[in-house]
Amino acid sequence: MSFEGKVALITGASRGIGRETALLLARRGADVVVNYRGSQDAAEQVRDEIRALGRRSEALQADVADFTAAGEMVRQAISAMGRLDILVNNAGVTRDNLLLRLDEGDWDLVVDTVLKGSFACSKAAVRQMMRQHYGRILNIGSVSGLGGIAGQANYSSAKAGLVGFTKALAKEVGSRNVTVNLVAPGFIKTEMTAHLSEATVADVIESTPLGRLGTPVDVAAAVCFLVSDEASFITGQVLSVDGGLLMH
């Protein structure tokens, strides 16, 4: 599975799933643009690791919740790299609380980052991909968006919205050889799940048929497949990477 000659843009790529996806694509030959919101040092470290692999890389700052900034960041990536073949909408935040305690600001932050951010980046990227008659868009969803998780009404709603967005966009751009898919991770060992109590982690592992938490590499491997040429006849699909936690 080679990505030689391909350019990828990963949002929220300074750590976790985004970081591992950026590095795995680079190891397989892609040039990679690393987007970050606030973690400049971490993002530049990822950029430097990619360059050490002999690939081109840039680190671009943008809060994807800002529609204008997100679109401009994508345009900067295309300008710097000359093309854009792969977009991974990975940026996300959580602000968990029970609905009766959830305030409007925390709702808006999560929905704007996850859902509006994916819309903004995809809109800017699709223009280039349609001109190229080639593109791969991969949205990072969540089991929270497929099954719902108490205390995550904002996050579950945003990630569920991504499923509909994925399918609608896949139908719009398929004729231009652009695929759009979604990977829905389960509980993955990242900073986002580091706050979970030992009891919660134990419950999750007990409920997971494979008997462990996932790793960012588990998710990155699935992403790489779906954005590869080997997956050229797969679009509008949702792939759960959750150890069997949520089966349909």
Of these residues, 155, 157, 226, 240, which one is catalytic?
Answer: 155
Task: Judge whether 155 counts as a catalytic residue.
Answer: yes
Residues 37, 12: contact at Cβ < 8 Å? yes
Considering just the CA atoms, what is the radius of gyration of the chain in Å?
Answer: 17
Measured CA to CA, the distance from residue 69 to residue 241 in angstroms comes to 30
Measured CA to CA, the distance from residue 86 to residue 219 in angstroms comes to 16
Which among 46, 51, 161, 154 has a CA at the least distance from the CA of 95? 154
Q: Tell me the CA distances in angstroms from 168 to 96, 152, 162, one per residue in order.
A: 28, 24, 10
Residues 193, 219: contact at Cβ < 8 Å? no
- At residue 140, the 3 state secondary structure works out as strand
Q: Residue 214 pairs with which residues in a beta bridge?
A: 188
- Residues recognised as catalytic: 155
